[in-house]
Chains A and B, each alone.
Chain A
């Protein structure tokens, strides 16, 4: 009996240890190392012996990150972009989820399918497609010029606007699905009860629908915010050089500068920043599970 319980607990712990903690420790170790022209491109390595390995580690790279304003500006810019795009995704996603939950029963499966369908195409291809839409000669500008709404093409690609469009588009399903789940579970007679007790439609929405879909909103927002914070593909393909995001900085440190230690330090800090929303998210999920019992 005790063995079985131990085994049950051991599996998830082993999973976390092997797939999260161990890689993190490796990255953390690299972040404390120095750059070297070698393979792997840092020193010391395990070949130098344990004592040398430990004695040569230092926090130099973290000090460097603090001294160069590029990095903290990138972190702040990432936070801002992630936050704004989370709010935008919520504003677009909530009405869609609401519409789905209120749609006739027989339509819902189809609507759900339409939300998930884009996942069947490669993410990269979809972002490239947006480049085709947003570029100066792209579909959107051609359409705007054709209708005469603008005299000359709008510069959308390679601006932060394009990054917002890309993030909202990519992460929309992550926002819609938890909100839809919350709204779908809601008893419609609650809205009628609110109206019966003197609420207008709008009041009933704010006082009943929104609070009861709160867990879905929080879950969806974190599911968008967390990956958007470290997003790399969207800002580098759609945002151009003007958009500063920490994911892009990380990529450049790794592949352009081949500075693994600094890149690792960037990653460690990013992870520390992300731990806060991840813990909040976990708490929300836990509270929701408790409320449902």
Chain B
């Protein structure tokens, strides 16, 4: 039971982190049709910026400044890069962000080195908040939950209560119509792209010291975020939210449940060892297969339901 509760909490924290990343990506993808490979790069940059800033000015300043830097970078990328490439089609935009991700990863290696940097949780938040059946739940995780919840609230309010937000909502499902109605779509694109990158940066600020901050962060996180976005469906933030939590829970629980398919088969009387046909596959315990789960889900969802959980448009 304790394992269940602890994993549930951890899964929620991880899921909310994923949501911070995935929400920006979903907004960009739904509205602009651009699959932003550089999104996870913004996550990485957020962590690295926060690290460097916190060395000079402390964590709390970094929490504020790093996302803004990522947002500004996003605006520049959109304004001077994406916009030019846009006329060559979606594939060109995709390739552009792909190349950008490559270059950013290398620039990070060049600027901060090849090894992980010691970006740590601020001392103020580094204490156990409460205990669940003897396992401590760090205060920092509660902080992460708080920030992600606040951010979700902020997005929701911005989208539903402001005029710009309403137009963005419309553009999520009917971008051409929004443009035909005379809204300044290019400016909104820049806004959405920059905001998405800023969000990813914020996720990096609070996630970078929770996990490790290294140049391979983007490459590890990136594909999982894509899976979440596709799983949740285009045009739906709620779908994205559900998918993020689901993915967070699945990945957390997979690590904890140390069973394999062979164990299941043993219950019905079938013995499978490593030397039986497909033995290796069936005796692989769940924690190790865990790395494969998101991608299996991606393939399944694109096969059975390309719209994702709650998508309003086909991918």
Asked if A and B bind, the verdict is no
Give the interface of A toward B (CB within 8 A): none
